[in-house]
Amino acid sequence: DAGVIQSPRHEVTEMGQEVTLRCKPISGHNSLFWYRQTMMRGLELLIYFNNNVPIDDSGMPEDRFSAKMPNASFSTLKIQPSEPRDSAVYFCASSLEIGTTEAFFGQGTRLTVV
């Protein structure tokens, strides 16, 4: 298996533009997580899905952020409009979500909003 695949690896955009980050979880995993990592806040869980359904999005910072999982093999995290303070590395992770299974992380998308 190729692991969790995220795209793009790097994104530079201007303030106010829409940004869409993409994630393909490991096949067979039924839980998907979106994290944001910054120097100031460390790793923050933004939202997680179980069987394509958003279970808890209380970590999403603002209404500008939205996430979807239209099927078991694809998820998006959208920021509209983007702001400089959104600059961070965004990680997607997936897990079997059964008992004690661990989460597998993608390589991350480094977002820079100028």
Partner 1 sequence: AQSVTQLDSHVSVSEGTPVLLRCNYSSSYSPSLFWYVQHPNKGLQLLLKYTSAATLVKGINGFEAEFKKSETSFHLTKPSAHMSDAAEYFCVVRPPGGGGFKTIFGAGTRLFVKA
Binding interface with partner 1 (CB under 8 A):
4, 31, 33, 42-43, 45, 48, 50, 55-56, 58-59, 91, 93, 95, 97-108, 110
Q: Taking the complex as a whole, how short is the minimal distance between the CB of residue 47 and partner 1, in angstroms?
A: 8
Our CB check for partner 1 shows the closer of 48 and 65 to be 48
Q: State which residue, 62 or 102, has the beta carbon closest to partner 1.
A: 102
CB 52, min distance to partner 1, A = 14
The residue among 70 and 99 lying less far from partner 1, judged by its C-beta, is 99
In angstroms, what CA-CA distances link 89 with 50, 71, 81, 105, 106? 23, 24, 17, 12, 11
CA distance 94 to 80: 24
Dist CA 85 CA 88 (whole Å): 8
Per the CB < 8 A criterion, the answer to whether 93 and 44 are in contact is: no
